[in-house]
Structure 1
Amino acid sequence: MEMELELFGKMILAIEKLENCREFSRLIPEVRSNLVYSKPNPKGPEDVLGVEGRITVVNGKPYAVGRPKFGASSHMARLIVELNKIDPSIRSGINFSVDEHLADWLRDYCNSRGWVFSVIDRSREPEEFKKEEGASMPWKVSEAIRAAGGSVPKVFYETGAVGKEDVAVIVGKDPIEVVDEACRIAELYVSREEKIGKIDPDTFESIVLRRLGKWNDRILVPPKSGVDGAIIDLGGGKVLAIAEDPIFSIPKQPPEMFGWYTVHIGASDVAVMGVKPEYMCYTLLMPPETKKEEFERIVNSIHEAALELGISIIGGHTGYYPGFASPTIGGVTVFGITEKGKYVTPEGAEPGNDVILTKGPAIEAVGILSVLREEELLRELPEKTVERAKSLCKQMTVVKDALTAMETGGVTAMHDATEGGVIGGLFELSQASGVGIEVDESQMIYPEEVRAVCDFFGIDPLEAISEGSLIITSEEEYSDEIIRNLKKEGINASVIGKITEEKNKKIIKRLNGKISEIKMPEKDPFWGVFFEGMKRLY
């Protein structure tokens, strides 16, 4: 009796969670999904709970047609029975639809989680198994294990069956674990298709760049893909560097951090041009319910951060407006003045230059996610690792990185790795400069906490937003000195590659030895994990 209470209890809790995972509805196949959970050492479908009538879609959300019932599933139940014979810990599973794009993504996701992934090619199935009812299942399980090199897979999918859609299965010890992981897969994958973050280069060039108002000959560096600031000729041998950014407050962080981000992120886009930030304006938009104390803390922290960097605040706008869920900087505009010819842009990289990266990848993504989703991380990672990850938020600036490198000399181009991460920044810099680039991921600084958090959330560190990571190209003879001077300022850096003449050859050697093309990620993986955390919070 106790065992049945445990079985039904976990199934009901898992079904309730699944029915609230809107994203999973996008993965329910035409034959519908079923969630199953077996008794220990099941002998057949009669020992396996399934959802009677299966799981369908109602009002855009998964919906269990009936209640959990022993013998309600045939196919999924027999699959679990066969898997349990080989690995008794596997007692639950759910099926979902898959296409070649999701299959490729699943392969990478499983690799990042340390899971075994496999493929069952139904075209290889012997004819005698196809004819006999129920005979296919032992063959499927043995084929999945064979294709996985002898290991029992966590996730596998069936393909190649004539007249049948491709489906995937994820298995685990109980339905709560299985549904948790299935929902995470759905949320991460579906979020890739949503438009979040800055627009893609094609949209920027086809729409924004064609609508820039009146041209002025004093504009030396106009808006361009991969170039985050502008340079204007002031005359008299002086130029003005100017850049603008929006800033969003991060849940679970104090107003002081919001103010600090506002100044440092805005100032970083001027600093990467090799120009010291000197002046700034900002627009602070707040919900009407914002308390005076919070408002004062934000403004005071902006003031303190500006003092720290020697920046004068010269204007802006502040107000309360409905429609804002939290305080938001509509735009922070930062200015700096330097001599003509004493600045750099991402267009200046030259063949033979070294490529230097400061701090390593995913600094911003890991810092923010470790604050927003701290409780989840602490269930699997050591507290010290999570605390170090949270402290990365204070490294979300490249002002000191850029100015130190520029003062050393030999710098030809700089670019901070914001949306699209380090790999996106490398692509934008090489594209803007019209050069090729070859990079070795194993040469990057890789904090343990960055690896741990990215592995936990199944995101590629190189593709994740990384304000705080600065890409520098320099003349080879200056690289060691630049790295030494950065080290004196408490900033770790390393040479990670070379600029080459072959502009169409942009490659990176990944940690697993695979050579991949450097290209702009279709979508920064940070956003899916971030908004998943926001939904759980609210």
Structure 2
Amino acid sequence: METGKLNWDILQRLIKKNSGAERAEVLKSGSIGEDCAVLKMNDGLIVMSTDPVTAATSGLGNIALHININDIATTGAEPLGVLVTILAPKGSSFGDIETVMKDISREARLMNVQVMGGHTEVTDAVNRMVVSLTAVGVVSEEELITTSGAKVGDSIIVTKSLCLEGTSIIAKDFPDRSREVLTEEELREAENYAMELSVLKEGMLLKGLASSMHDITEGGVLGALWEMAQASGTGFSVREDMMPVRRVTRKLCESFGLDPLRLISSGSMLIAVKDADEALRRLEGAGIKATVIGRVTEGRGILLAEEEIEVVPPARDEIYRLYE
């Protein structure tokens, strides 16, 4: 099998046949397009999500913390804590592991999130460090948002710019090749996109307004759109020329031969909402750039150079091509 997330059809078969026992407390399990599980407790809902970082070699703690808290944020939940698993290859130093934990702790402190526990080991089962987090949050039943909530007629909004995570990974892991097309100032800019990966603020601002929210990770914006459509039983019509991609990102994608619409994009939230004007007002009032890229429909397509084409689920994220 190829590197990257399992294809959606394979993953669906895997989940369907291996879901264990059913519990009444579990209101929603993770599924295609739904990254969080939701548990019913006496006084509210507990939201949980888990994700590893495997497509980067630097800034692992920062990335790992944000991609998991972002999943929690898409439900409108307040994040409470994380469990951290670190698998370090043989030859790793204490300093290597400590750097990851310091990054996680620094960002968690800023979001009032506690590092509650986890597991750390050095093992020859990996050839580079793997960091995986499980995040926990709480939300009321009335405020819960799911990816499956998108409705035909909703506007589709993307926050900030696409490919922030992918751009940062490329700049940090391939600096010499990046310098062939970027100035030193642009390279620093690309690296610093890693400081924009949180979408927690977006999630809190759009409670009670958004029909559906989904963070844009592996597979890029087209993968996220496909997942939202799959979860909600709808489709989408979006325009390529409306996609917010920064100049530095475009330069790197052109140089490395990558499609920015299929490149890992943590730091951007995909939002379906009936009242786009109000959503934009809230976001822009908080200093968050937001762009309407299309609408929720019954069919699934993207307008590319005036031609409507069908979107199929990406086989894997573009970033993995760089490590082959």
For 1:208, the aligned partner's letter is: I
- Give the conservation status (yes or no) of the 8 Å contact 2:55–2:319: no
Find 1:507's aligned residue among 301, 319, 322: 301
Cα 1:522–1:323 shift into 2, 3 Å: closer
Matched, 1:313 2:106: no
For 2:289, the aligned partner's letter is: N
Deviation at 1:466, TM superposition (A): 1.1
The structure with the greater share of residues assigned to helix is 1
- Give the conservation status (yes or no) of the 8 Å contact 1:274–1:402: yes
Provide the residue aligned with 1:26 in structure 2.
none
Q: Deviations over 1:76-122 (max 9, x none)?
A: xxxxxxxxxxxxxxxxxxxxxxxxxxxxxxxxxxxxxxxxxxxxxxx
- Give the conservation status (yes or no) of the 8 Å contact 2:77–2:144: yes
Find 1:205's aligned residue among 12, 17, 20: 12
Q: Which runs of 5+ in 1 are unaligned?
A: 1-193, 533-538
Find 2:137's aligned residue among 315, 318, 336: 336
Matched, 1:446 2:239: no
CA distance in 2, matches of 1:424, 1:332: 22
CA distance in 2, matches of 1:280, 1:231: 16
CA distance in 2, matches of 1:436, 1:337: 30
Provide the residue aligned with 1:85 in structure 2.
none
Provide the residue aligned with 1:368 in structure 2.
169
CA distance in 2, matches of 1:528, 1:249: 10
Instruction: Indicate the SS of the match to 1:376.
Output: helix
- Give the conservation status (yes or no) of the 8 Å contact 1:209–1:223: no
Matched, 1:272 2:74: yes
CA distance in 1, matches of 2:4, 2:110: 29
- Give the conservation status (yes or no) of the 8 Å contact 1:244–1:332: yes
Deviation at 1:288, TM superposition (A): 4.0
Q: Deviations over 1:435-467 (max 9, x none)?
A: 121111222222111211111111111111111
- When the two chains are superposed, the root-mean-square deviation of aligned CA atoms in Å is 1.8
1:96-115 equivalent positions in 2, closer than 5 A: none
- Give the conservation status (yes or no) of the 8 Å contact 1:396–1:467: yes
Provide the residue aligned with 2:278 in structure 1.
481
- Give the conservation status (yes or no) of the 8 Å contact 1:242–1:333: yes
For 1:294, the aligned partner's letter is: D
1:92-241 equivalent positions in 2, closer than 5 A: 195-236=2-43, 238-241=44-47
Deviation at 1:325, TM superposition (A): 2.6
CA distance in 1, matches of 2:61, 2:317: 24
Provide the residue aligned with 2:224 in structure 1.
425
CA distance in 1, matches of 2:67, 2:31: 19
Find 2:267's aligned residue among 445, 449, 468: 468
- Give the conservation status (yes or no) of the 8 Å contact 2:5–2:316: no
- Give the conservation status (yes or no) of the 8 Å contact 1:281–1:333: yes
Instruction: Indicate the SS of the match to 2:158.
Output: strand
Provide the residue aligned with 1:244 in structure 2.
50
Paired-residue identity, %: 28
Deviation at 1:212, TM superposition (A): 0.9
TM-score (norm 1): 0.58
For 1:433, the aligned partner's letter is: S
Deviation at 1:402, TM superposition (A): 2.0
Deviation at 1:249, TM superposition (A): 7.6
Q: Deviations over 1:236-262 (max 9, x none)?
A: 3x11100001124833x3xxx322222
CA distance in 2, matches of 1:377, 1:327: 23
Cα 1:263–1:523 shift into 2, 3 Å: closer
Instruction: Indicate the SS of the match to 1:209.
Output: helix
Deviation at 1:383, TM superposition (A): 3.2
Deviation at 1:310, TM superposition (A): 0.6
Provide the residue aligned with 2:321 in structure 1.
528
CA distance in 2, matches of 1:376, 1:491: 31
Instruction: Indicate the SS of the match to 2:79.
Output: coil
Matched, 1:380 2:181: yes
- Give the conservation status (yes or no) of the 8 Å contact 1:426–1:518: no
Q: Deviations over 1:290-345 (max 9, x none)?
A: 2223332322222221111111122211222223333322x311111111131111
Deviation at 1:412, TM superposition (A): 0.6
Bigger Rg, which one: 1
CA distance in 2, matches of 1:490, 1:374: 30
Instruction: Indicate the SS of the match to 2:99.
Output: helix
Matched, 1:298 2:97: no
Q: Deviations over 1:164-194 (max 9, x none)?
A: xxxxxxxxxxxxxxxxxxxxxxxxxxxxxx6
Deviation at 1:481, TM superposition (A): 3.0
Deviation at 1:411, TM superposition (A): 0.5
CA distance in 2, matches of 1:296, 1:360: 31
Provide the residue aligned with 2:289 in structure 1.
492
For 1:486, the aligned partner's letter is: L
Deviation at 1:401, TM superposition (A): 2.4
Q: Which has the higher contact order (CA 8 A, sep 6+)?
A: 2
TM-score (norm 2): 0.94
Instruction: Indicate the SS of the match to 2:149.
Output: coil
- Give the conservation status (yes or no) of the 8 Å contact 1:363–1:393: yes
